[in-house]
Amino acid sequence: MKVTIVGAGNVGASCADVISYRGIASEVVLLDIKEGFAEGKAMDLMQCATNTGFNTVITGVTNDYSKTANSNVVVITSGIPRKPGMTREELIGINAGIVKTVADNVLTHSPNAIIVVVSNPMDTMTYLTLKATGLPKNRVIGMGGALDSSRFRYYLSRALDKPSNDVSAMVIGGHGDTTMIPLTRLASYNGIPVSEFLSEEELAKVAAATMVGGATLTGLLGTSAWYAPGASVAYLVDSILNDQKKMIACSVMLDGEYGQSDICIGVPCIIGKNGIEEILDITLNDAEKEKFAKSAEAVINMNEDLKS
């Protein structure tokens, strides 16, 4: 199985690292616009093979899309990341141009690929990719919910003082500091609602920390994070390539689900060999419905910026 990752920067290279280390794909192509950069990242990663024991072949190329031919999955991480104080939304103008060109190029050589969009503002970039390529909606998936959910589980595990892997929780809605919706009502510790252990105030603090989780890291690192984003993309790619049918919150085109249409936004999905196998239209309570409607409104407003 072959995966192309466009953008060999922090997130792209970290994703290639996890994909190869975990043997998720036999071949990874890293492509970047910066001369020699993807080649260097690929060489560095390949020099891990003997010590970590993987067999994936990683190749780096500078803008040569012919080398990406017949990829099963293409991940788009090309674009600029946030700097401290910036919102994901402020990246829209520059990243829209990049994502559109990249999507056209990859499809010329991999017409059947499933595309995973990572570049921010991710919900809008996913929407743009779908509109620009005319692909069926199961083949364009925005990655954001997998990351936000793992951050939510991290903050819950800290509040509970229990391992993250024993905590189950999901974030839906837009992939933005003010638009994401950590579903605290449905979060559990080994099947027991977390509200058994944490007060409403504590849960509100966890939700708030989750929502600014990316910004917190941007403040500490001086640029946006990469290990958890890279691992989250790899988790999604694994479910596609190996037809695992995992339930993952992804940004997908809605057609009436959650009362929304013509918008890509995070909702729980079953992810398998066809990309989006199913959208789960779960029942939200009134407060969650209201948050979802507000989140959708913000994403739709941002999509409007694509026209200007």
Query: Phi and psi (nearest 5°) for 73?
Result: -135, 140
The reply to whether 10 sits near ligand NAI by the rule CB under 6 A is yes
The reply to whether 213 sits near ligand NAI by the rule CB under 6 A is no
Pairwise CA distance, residues 204 & 183, whole Å: 11
Contact pattern from residue 142 through residue 161 relative to ligand NAI, giving x for each residue in contact according to CB under 6 A and a dash for the rest? -xx--x--------------
Among 77, 124, 150, 179, binds ligand NAI (CB under 6 A): 77
| CB-nearer residue toward ligand NAI: 122 or 140 | 122
Q: In this structure, are residues 88 and 117 in contact, taking their beta carbons and an 8 Å threshold?
A: no
Query: Phi and psi (nearest 5°) for 259?
Result: 70, 20
Pairwise CA distance, residues 48 & 175, whole Å: 33
Q: In this structure, are residues 95 and 80 in contact, taking their beta carbons and an 8 Å threshold?
A: yes
Q: Is 8 among the annotated ligand-binding positions?
A: yes
Among 2, 18, 74, 82, binds ligand NAI (CB under 6 A): 82
Among 42, 103, 107, 122, binds ligand NAI (CB under 6 A): 122
Pairwise CA distance, residues 120 & 126, whole Å: 9
Among 20, 129, 179, 224, binds ligand NAI (CB under 6 A): 224
Q: Rule CB under 6 A: which of 169-208 touch ligand NAI? A: 175
Q: Interface with ligand NAI by CB under 6 A: which range of 64-72, 77-85, 262-270, 299-307? A: 77-85
Q: Interface with ligand NAI by CB under 6 A: which range of 74-82, 189-197, 263-271, 292-300? A: 74-82
Q: Which amino acid would we find at residue 206? A: V
**Which residue blocks in the chain are alpha helix, DSSP H?**
10-21, 37-46, 49-52, 92-109, 122-133, 145-160, 200-211, 213-221, 227-241, 286-304
| CB-nearer residue toward ligand NAI: 118 or 249 | 118
The reply to whether 229 sits near ligand NAI by the rule CB under 6 A is yes
Determine what percent of the chain falls in helix, strand and coil, rounding each to the nearest 5. 50, 20, 30
Pairwise CA distance, residues 98 & 289, whole Å: 34
Would you call 109 a catalytic residue per the annotation?
Answer: no
- 233 HSE (CA, 13 A, CB side): 34
Nearest-approach distance from CB 1 to ligand NAI, in angstroms: 22
The closest of 130, 213, 137, 199 to 171, measured between CA atoms, is 213
The reply to whether 83 sits near ligand NAI by the rule CB under 6 A is no
| CB-nearer residue toward ligand NAI: 82 or 291 | 82
Catalytic residue among 127, 175, 241, 253: 175
Pairwise CA distance, residues 254 & 84, whole Å: 32
| CB-nearer residue toward ligand NAI: 77 or 157 | 77
Q: What are the binding residues?
A: 7-12, 32, 82, 88, 95, 118-120, 151
Please give the positions annotated as active site.
175
Q: What are the binding residues for substrate?
A: 82, 88, 120, 151
Report the interface residues with ligand NAI, using CB under 6 A.
Answer: 6-12, 31-34, 37, 77-82, 91, 95, 98, 102, 118-120, 122, 143-144, 147, 175, 224, 226, 229
